[in-house]
Chain A
Amino acid sequence: MAVEPLVQGPGVPANLLLRDAHLLDPRAGIDARRDVRVSDGEIAELGEPGTLEKAANEEAIEAKGRRLLPAFFDPHVHLRTPGQEHKEDLETGTRAAAAGGFGGAIAMPNTDPVLDSAPLLRSLRDAAAREARIPIGFLAAITRGLEGAELTEMAELREAGALGFTDDGRPVQSAGMLRKALQYQRLCGGVLTLHEEDVSLSRGGVMREGAVSAALGLGGIPSVSESTMVARDAALAGYEDARVHFQHLSCAASVQAVAWAKAQGWRVSAEVTPHHLLLSEEDVRTMDTRMKMNPPLAGEEDRKALIEGLRKGTIDCVATDHAPHAREEKEVPFEQAPMGTTGLETAFAALYTGLVLPGILALELLVERMTAGAALFDLPTPRIVPGEPANVTLVDLDGEWVAGEHGWESRSENCCFAGRRLRGRVLLTLAAGAVVYRQRAFSVVAA
C-alpha cells in the first residue's frame, strides 16, 4: 500500500517516566514491576522499580500498584463521520476510544454518504489527520451504497488506504456477490469483514427470538439468521482461499461454524463484543433501548459459548461495535429505536468486572484478546518492549466507578452498561507515542 494504514491527528511525542508500574504484556512475556521510560514517544528503557532517574525533560508518574498494558485495539467502531455527526465524529469517537484505553481502531463505512469511493476515503483520512486522537483505519464498503448490487472500486480504495472491506450494518445477502468480492480480493488484498445475517429470517425482528421475545410480543431474530450465513461464507472463503473476518458473533452455532472453518485451514477470523459476552436477552425484558443492538443479545447458553470461544481462540479478538445514537433517537419505544450501543469507554472495565474478577477469564487472556485485532488487519500489535512506539494504557484495577456517572467522552450516551458499578479504571493512554487520555482525577507526581 502506498499510504500509511492508520492515520491520527497531531500529537506531541511523550517524555515520561512511569515509576514502578506493574507491566503485563502477554506477547512480550512480561508480568512484573518496572520503571518505564518513554522518550520522544518511544519506549526507551525498562528498569527494576526505583532504578530509573527522572530526566529534566520528563514528567514522572507514580504508577505503583497500577497495571501498564499494551493499548487495546478495536477493529470495529462507528465514528459516524461523514453525515451523522450529531451522533459522533472523529474527534469525540477517538476521544472515547482513548478514554477506554484504546490505541487504535477501525471505523466502519456505513456513513452518510457510504464510504464507497476513493475520493471520499481520502477526504476522510485528511479529516482524521486533523481530528483523530488515536490512530484509526478505515474499511470501505464491499458494494456501492451497501446496496449489495455492485462492487466498489476495491483496488483503488485499497491504494487510497482502505484496510479492507465491509458492508457492516447489512449483510452481503447474495452469495454470488460475495464470491465476486472474495475473488477480487486476489487483486487488491484487504480483509473482507462480514456482518452475518440472513434478512429473510431476521426481517421484522428487534431482539433475539426466544422466551423473552415471545413474552414481550417483540419480533424475534432467530440465531440461525446469523449462523447459517457464517457457515455459508466460511465455505465460500474456503473455496476461494479468501481472507474473511466475521464480525460480532452472537450465538453458539456461529462459534461452531468458525471453529469448523478454522479446522479446515480456511483463512477466517472472528470477533465478539463485550455486550454479547456479558449481557443476555434477559436484559431486554425492561425494553431499555440501550439493550437493542444488531446482532441482538442472545440466550445464556449462547453467551457461555461465546466466552468459551474467546478463551479457546476460536474467536480471535474483542471488538466493541461502538455504535453511538443521539438521545432523541433512542428515547422512543423499543421497536422504533435504532440498533446499537456505545462501548469504547466501558469495554475493558466491563469485561474485567464481568469475566476476570469472577475468575472466568485470566487477565492476560483478556489483554491478549483486546489487542489481537490489529494483527488480523496486518497491523503491528502494540508491545511494551524498548524501541517500540509507546502504545500503552495504565489501569487501576481496583478503581471502582459507575459507568456514565460523570458523563461520557462520546457524543452519545446510549451505553448498555450505563449505571453499572465497574472495576478497572483507565488512568492514562498513550497512542503512537503521544498522551491521548489522562483521567482527570489522576494525580501526577512531578518530583
Chain B
Amino acid sequence: MNHLLSIADLDREEIERIVAQAARFAEVSDREIKKVPALRGRMVLNLFYEASTRTRSSFELASKRLSADVVNFAASGSSVEKGESLKDTVLTLSAHKPDAIVLRTPWAGAAELVSKWCGAAIVNAGDGKHEHPTQALLDVYTLQKRLGGIDGASIWIVGDVAHSRVARSNIIAFQRMGAKVTVAGPPTLIPRGIEALGCEVRFTLDELDQADVVYALRMQRERMSESFLPSLREYATWYQINGRRLGSRQVLMHPGPVNRGVELSGEVVDSPQAVITAQVEAGVVVRMAVLYELLAGMREPQSAPEPQLA
C-alpha cells in the first residue's frame, strides 16, 4: 500500500490487517508511556483545506504516538489565500520531504491528484463529498470490537447521504466486511444511482427494526436554505433516531459532531447503545495503524514522478 486514497482500494484482508494493527496499538494507549518509536525520524504533514478539529488532532496524536514529526498546515492564513494553487502548495511543501501527507480538501479526487504530484504517501482525510477512508476504517474497528464481527450484520446509514463522504466510504467498507447496507433518508438527499454501490435504499425508517447497527449522519443546517428539506423539525419527525425508534439491541454510531435534537435525540446519544465516543477513541489507533502501514511497512522510498504532459 503506497497511499490511502479510497477505501475501495483496500480488500477485506488489508482492512482486517489495519484493524488488527490498530488493536495492537490500542494496548499502547493504555500504557503509562503512550509512545512507540516506530516512525522516529519520519515526517507527517497535515494539509487541511477545511476546518477540522477531530480528524486533524487525531492524525496529529497518531503521528506523535508513533514518534513521527508533525507539521500542520492549514489553508486559512497561508499562501493559499494569496491564490496559490493546490499543485504549487503541494510542490512547495514537498520540498520539506514529508514521508506522508494527510490531506483534507473540499474537492473530490484531490488526494488522488496530489499523489501524482509528489513522492510522499498520501492519506485521504476527506476529499469533498467523495470519501473519508480512515473514518470507515475506524468505524469497522469500532463495530468489530462491539459486535465481535460484522459479517452478516444489517447496517442502516441514515440521513444526508448525498453530501456525506462518510456514507460513501462506509457503504463500501461495511459491505466489503460482509455486512448488508441500507441507506435511508429524505429522497432529496439520497443521490440517484447510489444503489449501484450495492446498498438498498429506503425513504422511511419503517423497517429500521431490521438493523443491527444504525449509523446516523450529521444533518447540516445549510441544507434547509438549499431547499433539500422544508425544516429541521420535519426532518427530525421523520428521520431522527430517538428512544422510540432505536431498539435495545441495536448499536448506534455517528461520525460527529452530533446535532442533538436533530439527527439524534439526547437520550440515545447518552444511551448504552451509542458507541460514539468509542469511535473517537478508535480514530487515534486506526490512524496510527494506517500511518504505520504506509511508512513502516514495505514501502520503497519514492522519488517524485517525472512531470507529465496533462
Contacts and interface: CB of A to CB of B under 8 A. Distances in A.
Interface residues of A, number: 27
A333 B128 CA distance: 10
Counting chain A CB atoms within 10 Å of each CB, the highest count among B105, B128, B168, B310 belongs to B310
A214 B85 contact: no
A211 B165 CA distance: 15
Interface stretch (A185-193, A271-279, A324-332, A426-434): A324-332
A418 B310 CA distance: 9
A213 B193 contact: yes
Contacts of B129: 217-218
Contacts of B112: 287
Interface string B176-196: 000000000000000111101
B194 A214 contact: yes
B113 interface: yes
Nearest to A335: B107
A418 B197 CA distance: 29
A222 B193 CA distance: 11
B253 to A, nearest CB: 20
B130 interface: yes
A191 B266 CA distance: 63
A334 B108 contact: yes
Interface in B103-145: 105-110, 112-113, 127-131
Contact of A210 (B105, B127, B192, B309): B192
Contacts of B105: 333
A214 B310 contact: no
A333 B131 CA distance: 14
B113 A214 contact: no
A420 B113 CA distance: 21
B165 A217 contact: yes
Interface band, chain B = 20 to 34
A251 B177 CA distance: 37
A336 B274 CA distance: 38
Interface string B64-88: 0000000000000000000001110
Contacts of B110: 333
A217 B128 contact: yes
Nearest to A208: B193
Nearest to A333: B107
A413 B309 contact: yes
Interface string B277-310: 0000000000000000000000000000000011
A401 to B, nearest CB: 15
Contacts of B85: 328, 331-332
Contacts of B107: 332-336
A74 to B, nearest CB: 24
Contacts of A217: 108, 128-131, 165, 168
A21 to B, nearest CB: 34
A216 B193 contact: no
A180 B15 CA distance: 62
A214 B168 CA distance: 9
A414 interface: yes
Given A210-B192, A213-B191, A216-B130, A330 B197 contact: no
A413 B128 contact: no
Q: Which 8 A-B pairs have the closest CB atoms?
A: A217-B129, A333-B107, A211-B196, A287-B109, A211-B193, A214-B193, A214-B191, A217-B130
Given A217-B168, A332-B85, 7 more contacts: A209-B192, A217-B129, A217-B165, A331-B87, A333-B105, A333-B127, A334-B108
17 contacts: A209-B191, A209-B193, A212-B193, A214-B197, A215-B194, A217-B129, A217-B130, A217-B131, A217-B168, A218-B130, A287-B112, A287-B113, A333-B109, A333-B110, A333-B128, A334-B109, A413-B309
